[in-house]
């Protein structure tokens, strides 16, 4: 424990707090700007285990704001999670690092085991919406963080004790549609926002009763200001209110070749999986979501790249790598018809 001596001397931590950090198991979604800064602080602080999730590779444009990566990583287009893992273990070999080079949707249907906390270090609201759904389902707390320009936002969220992310951003569907827009960010903003995020993580892990689940932090690195706002739970929230369900009127393009739609909820994922087996022999499924990679056997589908679909039990459905809206709509209509027929037979 001697390497953490200066941290143990802090009254809010102490030896007991340091032991809690070393017993913690955290999931970081996104290994870019926020993810790398946040992961480094947590590893230097002595957390027990980090799971890093990101499907992307390192590029030269990342180096302006994403710590842990080097020009050599960009030259070889190394997976971000692999490069980050090596860099983090070089800092602290006592921490367990699990690198998961995949999208968060792929992760949804895997068994991750016990998690103490999730840290949202992504850069778009499509993934954040999935994190929100994931944490709602498993009743997990998560720390939201976002950066744009010279300002950033941080909020600790625990839907069982306060608002969910959709309560904070009721226009989340519209924000998701802008997920592919490239937004500039100033370099010094990232360590500021990540420090606030890690500070909230420490507070939850060491003194959870003191955490305000309704407090949104807004930081402006240019003005040198941090403001706080109180956000209350929306009793009619379509995601976390018990009597409500998500309702999207039609299939919509979100970003690039990604589309989003809504099936009538609740969904019997096991039954849908059985019928999807005609398209894909091994759909991946758990109690939260169903993910299927569609082959050329499916209706109106191209052979390459292979489109894939993620269906949540809430009915929210995401279509990836479909060439256009018309093709995605044909698949959506097939799912809608299949689901309706299944409901009528129940």
pLDDT digits (tens, 9 = 90+) for 182-217: 778 999 999 999 999 999 999 999 999 999 999 999
Could you give the dihedral angle defined by the CA atoms of residues 123, 254, 289 and 311, in that order, rounded to the nearest 10 degrees? -170
pLDDT for residue 7: 97
What's the rounded Cα separation, in Å, for the pair 263 and 246? 9
Buried b (16+ CB within 10 A) or exposed e, 84-99: bbebbeeebeebebeb
What's the rounded Cα separation, in Å, for the pair 186 and 278? 49
Q: Is 248 exposed, middle or buried (0-12, 13-18, 19+ CB in 10 A)?
A: middle
Nearest to 222, CA basis, from 292, 152, 145: 152
What's the rounded Cα separation, in Å, for the pair 74 and 87? 14
State how far the alpha carbon of 114 is from the alpha carbons of 88, 108, 194, 250, in Å.
22, 14, 24, 36
To the question of pTM greater than 0.85 for the whole model, the response is: yes
Residue 305 and residue 321 in contact, taking contact as beta carbons nearer than 8 Å: yes
Bridge partners of residue 155, in order along the sequence = 144, 216
Percent of the chain with pLDDT over 70: 90
The DSSP H or E segment spanning 323 is: none
Number of C-beta neighbours around residue 280 at 10 A? 19
Nearby residues of 345 by Cβ (< 8 Å), 6 or more positions away = none
Where does the pLDDT of residue 181 fall: very low under 50, low under 70, confident under 90, or very high at 90 and above? low
What's the rounded Cα separation, in Å, for the pair 179 and 170? 16
More confident residue, 245 or 171: 171
- Give yes or no for residue 333 having a pLDDT over 70: yes
Number of C-beta neighbours around residue 71 at 10 A? 10
What's the rounded Cα separation, in Å, for the pair 3 and 308? 46
What's the rounded Cα separation, in Å, for the pair 241 and 255? 27
pLDDT digits (tens, 9 = 90+) for 272-330: 887 777 666 578 888 889 888 877 555 555 556 778 889 988 888 999 888 888 888 88
pLDDT for residue 149: 93
């Amino acid at each position: 424990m001697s390497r953490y001596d200066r941290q143990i001397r802090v009254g809010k931590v102490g030896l007991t707090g340091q032991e809690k950090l070393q017993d913690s198991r955290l999931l970081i979604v996104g290994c870019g700007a926020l993810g790398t800064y946040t992961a480094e602080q947590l590893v230097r602080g002595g957390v027990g285990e980090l799971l890093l999730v990101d499907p992307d590779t390192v590029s030269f444009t990342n180096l302006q704001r994403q710590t842990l990566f080097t020009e050599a990583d960009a030259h070889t287009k190394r997976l971000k999670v692999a490069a980050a893992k090596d860099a983090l273990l070089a800092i602290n070999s006592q921490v367990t690092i699990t690198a998961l080079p995949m999208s968060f949707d792929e992760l949804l249907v895997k068994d991750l085991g016990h998690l103490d906390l999730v840290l949202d270090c992504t850069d778009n609201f499509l993934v954040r919406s999935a994190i929100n759904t994931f944490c709602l389902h498993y009743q997990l707390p998560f720390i939201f963080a976002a950066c744009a320009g010279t300002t950033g936002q941080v909020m600790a969220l625990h839907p069982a004790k306060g608002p969910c992310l959709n309560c904070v951003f009721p226009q989340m569907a519209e924000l998701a549609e802008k997920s592919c827009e490239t937004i500039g960010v100033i370099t010094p903003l990232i360590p500021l926002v990540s420090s606030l995020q890690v500070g909230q993580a420490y507070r939850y892990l060491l003194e959870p009763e003191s955490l305000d689940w309704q407090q949104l932090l807004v930081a402006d690195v240019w003005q040198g200001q941090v403001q706080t706002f109180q956000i209350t739970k929306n009793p009619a929230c379509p995601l976390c209110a018990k009597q409500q369900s998500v309702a999207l009127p039609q299939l919509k393009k979100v970003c690039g070749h990604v589309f989003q739609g809504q099936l009538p909820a609740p969904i019997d994922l096991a039954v849908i999986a059985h019928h999807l087996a005609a398209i894909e022999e091994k759909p991946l499924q758990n109690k939260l979501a169903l993910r299927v990679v569609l082959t050329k056997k499916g209706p109106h589908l191209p052979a390459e790249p292979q489109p894939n679909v993620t269906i949540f039990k809430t009915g929210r459905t995401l279509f990836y790598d479909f060439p256009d809206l018309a093709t995605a709509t044909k698949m959506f209509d097939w799912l809608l018809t299949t689901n309706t027929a299944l409901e009528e037979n129940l």
